[in-house]
Structure 1
């Protein structure tokens, strides 16, 4: 899983401290001022609305986009408003700022949403960088997103829609991926795995996490390197492929797991197949029918098992049917290809709404946090949810889907696994 560049995060925190005197929390409409019962409202809260914004990597230098995260959030908020809102208030979702996967833009987007737009919460936050985390924590802004960054693990105002996925020592590791690969292979005993990631703080942390997880599941970890440049997609993958295919005592591992985004995965998987690799290939990002429009992309991803931390779209559960209907409604009644970014936005919004509903009519950050401190529910698209557990541990559930002849099929059904301690 991905982790932000710590030095940039530190710089962001310093900038936030310098500018704190100009922040929303010091102007009489901040989270510690007023209250609905006294006739004064908190930042972003009026008598009939709650203002919410988002931060999403709509664009990036590699062409990778999470723009449909915004559609997913709109879909969930639209249904909430159609059902009467939250304790009598409609959600005023002002849309998502594009951070371009740029740490400086991520912080700028957070500052704009809080200081200019005066939102009560940010949901969704979906990017590979989260340099605005320290600022949002300082300003006491409830923030929701995919818990693939360390900032979703520990800070009191920041929540992962499926819990914390990159824990610190003392936390736990989600075993969905190792156990899923073991299922595909008919067991982990005597089987080997290669794990590859980008050469970045995020990649190194991912290697550390999944080395432990696959070893705990019974695999021999034959290769585990954060070796691929993080700033550009390699044009020549031969060196990486050579190392991987000789990592298992001079032979190929039984599975290759990539902790990278789509552009890197396409290059690596294409090179592996051309080299004759016949083992299991897996990644956590490429569950997106939109990727299948190009022949080269479809061929590169054919046969790949993709990790999901939510129910597959192929599920027939009432919750999934409702999700599909909500997305269609938000898309103007059109049937649009579903992808995991939509689900990220949708479930980020869903968790925010559930806690806000529990907080009651007298909405404030303090009341919201009190509600979150004892929140739990069951049967959602990400399994059973519980806080504050989810700020230290993942909810532990997931599935694998495999692309076969242009169609995704469930290869390992949605299931919850017991996590292991992170060391």
Structure 2
């Protein structure tokens, strides 16, 4: 069975936060259909006087929204499901509060099974048959249906940019924003995207580290992403040790020995969770003591305690970076609203809470605020005017402000901000969890270079 790594890119400002996801692509061979969809039905419509049915998916009492998720991909049901649950919780809370201008939201979900064919099937069904008004908070491995969505001018708001589609097509609005031209022809600026180095700058200044290691699989996409990390680290003046392991039989013990000999202080990787935990076990067994093992927003989950149970030393230096708030910071009103809704509508997910769930909530909030700007006369064109405005958006404080204003090809430093948290087995709030390490992500900013790369 052939295995493939798909790089995950997290947008212009936080491009260096990318991770990789392990895709068992061979298991999808010959699978031209997706699994049956599931619908979340909103309460019955409460029509507001004078609400026009002004666009596809909009009636006087209801708005129909689509969510596509690679729920049953070979990665398992939890890897990509977070944004879906966060968005569903948001729309249920919205309906419970009376909806939007007298309209309730009906969410139609579709599982594309992680395949391009499945994604095209979901997109066509939701647009052609279900006639959704817009998409929200998608998280898919292969967005093969993106050209069709854009061609039909259906807004896709607040989704996770696991590929390059959100830096290519108009009408697609990823959760981290994009300042690329997005003309539908080429990705980014004539096929070039840019990563910034704020992650590496933060750890250099915060921890005083100068010797880093990057670990990748012997697989094209993993090696390509590892090269991006190396490029960013080198630009920040790090000494970099690069190690490659076999995808099927990774020799992590040898990697740990090499890190000990090289004096590695901080580790970045281009691997999946299986690789991360295997590497951490080898580091603990070899007695390697790091200042930090850096992961990303995709692994910012409450399951870390269980996932790294066999590597407590490495778990104790696990850090994560993102462009969104920590779901544990319930002192922030927007985070508390998210947590209260998750407790109400999905209490079984308490031990599975993740940063991606919060970002799914933020994506649904973004679309809702765009629709709210239209008042009773809700249209796709009005939503897109909101999305394309020059004013950056922060989802009521949940996101580092982002926008979709096209800018010239980057040619110099940029101001880039990030949030940072560290896993602690005994967090101040009691029990294990992620503890935010910066006072405010909106002021934890650096003037850093922008480095070109070709996805």
Aligned equivalent of 1:22: none
* C-alpha distance in structure 2 between counterparts of 1:384 and 1:349, whole Å: 16
* C-alpha distance in structure 2 between counterparts of 1:132 and 1:395, whole Å: 33
TM-score, normalization by structure 2: 0.72
Q: Deviations over 1:20-73 (max 9, x none)?
A: xxxxxxxxxxxxxxxxx9966422111222111111222332435332322210
Q: Deviations over 1:239-297 (max 9, x none)?
A: x553575379x614321112333222222222232233222211113222234346736
Structure 2 residue 67 is the aligned partner of structure 1 residue 67: no
**Residue 147 of structure 1, CA deviation:** 2.9
**Residue 419 of structure 1, CA deviation:** 5.3
Alignment of 1:395-414 (within 5 A): 396-405=416-425, 406-413=432-439, 414=441
* C-alpha distance in structure 1 between counterparts of 2:408 and 2:63, whole Å: 24
Aligned equivalent of 2:237: 218
* C-alpha distance in structure 1 between counterparts of 2:408 and 2:84, whole Å: 23
Deviates more, 1:110-119 or 1:291-300: 291-300
Q: Deviations over 1:79-110 (max 9, x none)?
A: 3333443343222112x322232232222222
Unmatched tracts of structure 1, length 5 or more: 6-36
* C-alpha distance in structure 2 between counterparts of 1:336 and 1:137, whole Å: 37
TM-score, normalization by structure 1: 0.77
Aligned equivalent of 1:2: 8
Change (3 A) 1:347 1:204: farther
Aligned equivalent of 1:384: 401
Change (3 A) 1:273 1:353: same
- Residue 237 (structure 1) aligned to one of 250, 255, 261: 250
- Do 1:376 and 1:386's aligned partners in 2 also have CA atoms closer than 8 Å? yes
Q: Deviations over 1:290-331 (max 9, x none)?
A: 343467367464431122321112322222222212222222
Alignment of 1:218-367 (within 5 A): 218-223=237-242, 229=247, 234=248, 236-238=249-251, 242-243=254-255, 246=258, 251-279=262-290, 280-284=292-296, 285-293=298-306, 296=309, 299=312, 301-315=315-329, 316-331=331-346, 337-367=352-382
Alignment of 1:144-155 (within 5 A): 144-155=158-169
**Residue 138 of structure 1, CA deviation:** 1.6
- Do 2:89 and 2:342's aligned partners in 1 also have CA atoms closer than 8 Å? yes
**Residue 220 of structure 1, CA deviation:** 2.9
Q: Specify the SS of the correspondent of 2:418.
A: strand
Q: Deviations over 1:209-239 (max 9, x none)?
A: 43333333332333276x664xxxx3x321x
- Residue 134 (structure 1) aligned to one of 147, 150, 160: 147
- Do 1:184 and 1:411's aligned partners in 2 also have CA atoms closer than 8 Å? no
Unmatched tracts of structure 2, length 5 or more: 1-6, 10-19, 22-49, 181-186, 426-431
Aligned equivalent of 2:451: 422
Deviates more, 1:290-299 or 1:347-356: 290-299
- Do 2:325 and 2:398's aligned partners in 1 also have CA atoms closer than 8 Å? yes
Alignment of 1:112-131 (within 5 A): 112-131=125-144
Greater length-normalized contact order (CA 8 Å, ≥ 6 residues apart): 1
Aligned equivalent of 2:15: none
* C-alpha distance in structure 1 between counterparts of 2:393 and 2:154, whole Å: 23
Q: Deviations over 1:385-420 (max 9, x none)?
A: 333369999994432222233433334453344453
* C-alpha distance in structure 2 between counterparts of 1:155 and 1:295, whole Å: 39
Q: Specify the SS of the correspondent of 1:177.
A: helix
* C-alpha distance in structure 2 between counterparts of 1:73 and 1:360, whole Å: 21
Aligned equivalent of 2:13: none
Q: How many residues align?
A: 380
Q: Specify the SS of the correspondent of 2:268.
A: strand
* C-alpha distance in structure 1 between counterparts of 2:138 and 2:170, whole Å: 16
Q: Specify the SS of the correspondent of 1:314.
A: coil
Q: Specify the SS of the correspondent of 1:126.
A: coil
Change (3 A) 1:98 1:41: same
Q: Specify the SS of the correspondent of 1:109.
A: helix
Aligned equivalent of 1:180: 202
Coordinate RMSD, CA, aligned: 3.6
Alignment of 1:2-21 (within 5 A): 2=8
Deviates more, 1:109-118 or 1:77-86: 77-86
Q: Deviations over 1:344-392 (max 9, x none)?
A: 3111111111222223432222222222211534552112233336999
**Residue 123 of structure 1, CA deviation:** 0.9
